[in-house]
Amino acid sequence: MALQSLGAPWMGNDRFIAVLFYATGDDPMLRTGGTMSSTRTTKILWWVAESGGAAMELHGRSTSGSTFTQLVPSVGGGQHPSIVNVPSVGCWTLRATIGSKTVGAVTVPVEGH
């Protein structure tokens, strides 16, 4: 994947990438509820080098101990597009798993609307 051509900030390594399509510039600030504004969602494209076409589970945990889980289907080619719906403000770690294996994680700040 040519990361320079994505036009959006990203986090990850050569085996796991989270493309932050919701972000403007290099600011990773996410918002609660799945939307950034009336016209933009909290879209993240997860790319997993060895997903095997399986669905991915996204496990979120805030520094205050709140959690959520979200199923993210595969669309092939290791791609898992999602609208991430974080339930509350804070600093959240989003850990991606396929089966019982953690494939990657990112940490992002989250604000309310």
**For the chain, what are the domain ranges?**
3-111
Q: Model's pTM, two decimal places?
A: 0.89
Average pLDDT of the residues of the chain: 90
Q: What percent of the chain has pLDDT over 90?
A: 70
Q: How many angstroms separate the CA atoms of 51 and 82, rounded?
A: 15
Beta carbons within 10 angstroms of residue 78's beta carbon: 20
Fold of 3-111: Immunoglobulin-like (2.60.40)
